[in-house]
Amino acid sequence: MKYKIQTEGAFGWGDLKYSEDGETYQVDLFDTKEQADEELKNILSEFGEDGDNYRIVTEDVLEDFNIYTE
């Protein structure tokens, strides 16, 4: 089982994703919960945020909305 990071928005939880071409986004999956936690710590440190609006879940948890669509 893999893990991913979700962020909370007005309509629920959305998966954090990445794009190599700026157009196609893929869910950022981690092999262990510890790896996901380390990435989340890096994100929080980089943007000076607290972790209240983020959570780590297994890859089978569906997102409530896609934050990468217009």
Provide the pLDDT for residue 8: 95
Task: Collect the ranges in the chain with pLDDT lower than 50.
Answer: none
pLDDT, tens digit (0-9, with 9 covering 90-100), for 6-19 = 999 989 999 999 99
H or E stretch including 17?
A: strand 17-18
Return d(Cα 57, Cα 70) in angstroms, integer.
25
Q: What is the dihedral of CA 29, 33, 36, 40, to 10 degrees?
A: 150
Cα of 55 vs its chain's centroid, Å:
8
User: Which tokens hold the place of 7?
Assistant: 């962020």
pTM above 0.95, yes or no: no
> What pLDDT score was predicted for residue 47?
87
* C-beta of residue 47 within 8 angstroms of C-beta of residue 24: no
